Structure 1
Amino acid sequence: MSLAPPFTEESARTKVKKAQDLWNTKNPKVIAQAYTPDSIWRNRSSFIVGTAAIEDLLTKKWEKEQNYRLRKELFAFSGDKIAVQFWYEYQDAHDGLKWKRCYGLEDWTFAEDGKMRKRQMSGNDIDISEAERWFKDGIDVNTVEISEAHW
């Protein structure tokens, strides 16, 4: 199955899960290679262009967001675009290692070769307790039941 556009529902779902698995490696150098050299990003309030800037942003992200675990789900797709809903949990190194969960949405646009050429991300963080965590060690993020209240 091709993971380049135009997407089918099956290829879009597979692309989302491959992105999820790639981001869960927390390896900025490898992750940046999934994007075009001139990829345009809006990540929260940061606006960046290019794989070097992506690698730098992700390096700083995971210096702050320790014990990061992510889940992405397909929201919608058409042609060369995919929309994703995601949740991730982390300990905030800039806030006393408090546990937090980010709720967010992304829209992605792909080049013909399947690399992402544009990523727009919006996310909101909330404080959570240890007991409220979903993605604990040893838990497959894909099997966690996430209720409609969180979708």
Structure 2
Amino acid sequence: MLKVASALVLGWIISASLFATAALAADIDLVLEWHAKDGTVIAERTLDAAAVDALPQVEFTTETPWTSGDQRFSGPSLGTLAALGGVPVSSARVTALNDYEMDVPAEDWEESGAILASRRNGETMPVVDKGPYWVMYPISSDPKLNSQFYHGRMVWQVKAIVFEAE
């Protein structure tokens, strides 16, 4: 009887923590900054999940090395986010919740279709599953994108993006 009660309590704790983690994904704001080449901040903006969802959305289906089978990703183009600063940009430094950073050149969103996915298969992504935001490329549609070179740019758990002005 004690084992059954312990299993029920453990199951409830796990369920509650997963629910809380999923809820927290929506509470993580996306911090955007635009910097001049000398590092001076030109503009800054913080978007909540509703503001990100209100931007024009791009959707595609692709496989990734971290998921099983085709997955449908949607979110704003990195170009749409870059344009919010009102200045032309040459690259974006994307930062994850664990402070992993990667530079993504403008060509990646202009020519390769990189987006900041906020949904996978129509659902928001909890932090425990690479959310709330994940830089995503349509790698199934272009074999050159399915390489370690681009995989390294597919930052997940994104919390901030700094765009470098031209």
TM-score (norm 2): 0.30
- The structure where helix makes up a greater share of residues is 2
Instruction: Tell me which of the two structures has the higher relative contact order, counting C-alpha pairs closer than 8 angstroms and 6 or more residues apart.
Output: 2
TM-score (norm 1): 0.31
Computing the radius of gyration from Cα coordinates, the structure with the larger value is 2
- The structure where strand makes up a greater share of residues is 1
